[in-house]
Amino acid sequence: MKSNFESYVIFELAGSVYGIPSQNVRHIEMFEHVTLVPNANPAIDGVVFSRGQVIPALNLRVRFGFPRTNNTIRTRIIFATIHQRTVGLIVDTAREFQNVPTDKIGPIEETLTGIHGNYLKAVTKVGERLVLILDLEAVLNVDDVQLPPEAEKTSNEQLISK
């Protein structure tokens, strides 16, 4: 019997290992520069220019309630897309793609009792490492990152009509 696999980008953050579905990852870059944006959500470090686009940079340490740290040579930005929105996820390190058998991925509620992790969808093991699979939709909740397209259109129309 052939086992089905799901592909994940594996990254580290605050000493833990996380995964996000690789089909949502556009690319990964070294951390270089983030341009600060006034009055942004505290988890948004600013914006980055990547491959011809200006993209919000979401600091996952802040998003998850971990303390901020200085960026290092290992710091990466994972450019992830969901619902036609691309966001740069700032993580401690990322350099690995893994195919995980679907029968080895367990829902977070069944595996870690008492945890209702707002951002966690599942858990699996890769080698000896426990990998927390993120609910990318919750992590990238567009209300925290950008206005929904309808609101952007309405805001722009209001600006134009004035």
Domains annotated for the chain, with CATH where assigned, are 5-161 (2.40.50.180)
Q: What percent of the chain has pLDDT over 90?
A: 58
pLDDT digits (tens, 9 = 90+) for 32-52: 999 999 988 888 999 999 999
Q: Is the pLDDT of residue 16 over 90?
A: yes
Residue 81: half-sphere exposure toward Cβ, Cα within 13 Å:
8
pTM: 0.80
| CB 44, CB 140: distance < 8 Å | no
Task: Give the range among 21-35, 98-112, 132-146 with minimum mean pLDDT.
Answer: 132-146
Task: Give the range among 113-117, 121-125, 157-161 with minimum mean pLDDT.
Answer: 157-161
For the record, the structure tokens of 93 come out as: 């390190």
Mean per-residue pLDDT, 3-10: 90
